[in-house]
Amino acid sequence: MRLGVLDVGSNTVHLLVVDAHQGARPLPAFSHKAELRLAAHLEDGDRLSADGEARLRSFIEDALQIAEDKGVEDLVAFATSAVRDASNGEEILERIRTETDVDIHALSGPDEARLTFLAVRRWFGWSSGRLLVIDIGGGSLEVAAGIDEDPDVAISLPLGAGRLTRDWLTADPAPADEVRKLRRHVRAEIARHVGEVARYGAPDFAVATSKTFKQLARIGGAAPSSDGPYQRRVLQHAGLTGWADKLARMPASERADLPGVSERRVPQLPAGAIVADAAMDLFGISELEVCPWALREGVILRRLDMITG
């Protein structure tokens, strides 16, 4: 069947059209995305602005027309931390449901972690053993670990690269004291949850997803995206620690010249590197393998399971 997945993220809103069938890998057929930066449209600390809502509604209207043109049979829509954490998020989603007939479900943080874990498990298979999966988004950090398709533990922390950049760093490059405070904050937050993961035993295989990890791996020498999804890409903690320090001191213009760094993610890369470095250190991971599948693919796989189950 032809399935449409509408992903309302903190930075980007993305419609992905895939040809998907039970027992087969989803094949991307069409992609339409826009950088709405919904998390930057929060007013009074936690309310999504009228402008942010209008931009989202406009994108959804375009996406519906595209989905119809591409022959989409089933559309599943979800929102992550920017809408989930907004005090008026559910109110906005209800208006959108009424006006567009699109039912966007705000995923909880742990559900994000579980669905991402499912995608990673299906990509690497049972031979990967006990998995530890780490994902850095714009608004949150997700960590999941387990031996089956449903993880034993699924954690979501407000440590997304975009959120931390907005809340903790006032300049580019940020003053050294701000970077130190951010580093302490990130490590304290993650350290509170290390025991929840460790109690289930050491992972056999540690995996990273998300654009932040992909870019950090590319900076560290991993193959470019043009080499395709089956090229093995890894991020070494030994190299990342040095890059986390360098990226915090670099101006945006220099970071933009690094291999694999997209222009729209240049501002939040230092914060993302600080989170990645802390997670690898505190969870005792020397190497992460980057998985090309993540939350969207997890949503697709879960949807197929529900349709055919």
| Per-residue pLDDT band at 22 (split at 50, 70, 90) | confident
pLDDT reported for residue 169:
97
**Is a pLDDT exceeding 90 seen at residue 101?**
yes
Question: Residue 125: left (phi > 0), alpha (psi -120 to 50), or beta?
Answer: left
**The two three-digit tokens of residue 57, written as one number:** 């509604």
pLDDT reported for residue 119:
97
- Helix or strand holding residue 30 (H, E): strand 27-34
| Per-residue pLDDT band at 37 (split at 50, 70, 90) | confident
| Per-residue pLDDT band at 11 (split at 50, 70, 90) | confident
pLDDT reported for residue 212:
96
Mean pLDDT of 233-262: 96
Mean pLDDT of 135-143: 95
Nearest Cα to Cα of residue 172 among 242, 244, 268: 268
Quick one: 2-106 is in which CATH superfamily? ATPase, nucleotide binding domain (3.30.420.40)
**Is a pLDDT exceeding 90 seen at residue 264?**
no
**Is a pLDDT exceeding 70 seen at residue 309?**
no
Nearest Cα to Cα of residue 247 among 299, 177, 172: 172
Pick the CATH number of 110-295 from 3.90.76.10, 3.30.420.150, 1.10.357.140, 1.10.3720.10: 3.30.420.150
pTM here is 0.95
The answer to whether the 2-106 and 110-295 domains have the same CATH topology is: yes
pLDDT reported for residue 44:
78
What integer best gives the mean pLDDT of the chain?
A: 95
pLDDT reported for residue 306:
87
Q: Three-state DSSP class for 279?
A: helix
Mean pLDDT of 86-114: 95
